[in-house]
């Protein structure tokens, strides 16, 4: 058997996976739900995008120890971990992000004037669930090199 016949079978399945719209959707969601939580998590420490403590419901601020900014530091760590979980184990990470977004939605629904952001986050939650389901389908598929 020549080396060409040994490598040809592995190239064809990779091309098939790349051309599969389901796999493409999985890859897009995986990258998005890896990068966004990590970037937003890092920004909880810098407040460059927005003043994050204003997104914390007063009742939650009353329950958690420390300041609202200290709570945002903890939120940032969770978001970074969630993004890394999506990168490393999307079948688990997708559900982790979906659950985290559900908590964020509950928080936002208890702050008047943030309902539009809660609705946006519901859309993101649906995307995270879709990622988790697609990860179940594509778990173990070899990604192209």
Q: For residue range 16-42, what is the model confidence (pLDDT) as tens digits?
A: 678 899 999 999 999 999 999 999 999
pLDDT band for position 6 (cuts 50, 70, 90): low
Please check the confidence at residue 14 and state whether its pLDDT lies above 70. Answer: no
Please check the confidence at residue 101 and state whether its pLDDT lies above 90. Answer: yes
Query: What own/partner pairs with CB < 8 Å and gap ≥ 24 does 22-31 have?
Result: 22/134, 22/137, 22/138, 23/138, 23/141, 25/130, 25/134, 26/90, 26/131, 26/134, 26/135, 26/137, 26/138, 29/94, 29/127, 29/128, 29/130, 29/131, 29/134, 30/86, 30/87, 30/90, 30/131, 30/135
């Amino acid at each position: 058997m020549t080396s060409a016949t040994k490598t040809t079978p592995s190239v064809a399945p990779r091309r098939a996976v790349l051309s599969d719209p389901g796999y493409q959707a999985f890859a897009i969601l995986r990258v998005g739900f890896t990068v966004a939580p990590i970037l937003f998590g890092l920004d909880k420490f810098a407040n460059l995008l927005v003043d994050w403590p204003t997104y914390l419901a007063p009742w939650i601020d009353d329950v958690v120890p420390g300041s609202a900014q200290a709570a945002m530091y903890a939120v940032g760590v969770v978001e970074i971990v969630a993004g890394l979980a999506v990168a490393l184990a999307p079948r688990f990470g997708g559900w982790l992000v979906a659950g985290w977004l559900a908590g964020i939605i509950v928080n936002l629904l208890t702050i008047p004037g943030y309902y539009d952001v809660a609705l946006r986050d519901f859309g993101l939650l649906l995307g995270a669930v879709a990622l988790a389901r697609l990860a179940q389908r594509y778990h173990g598929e070899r990604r192209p090199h």
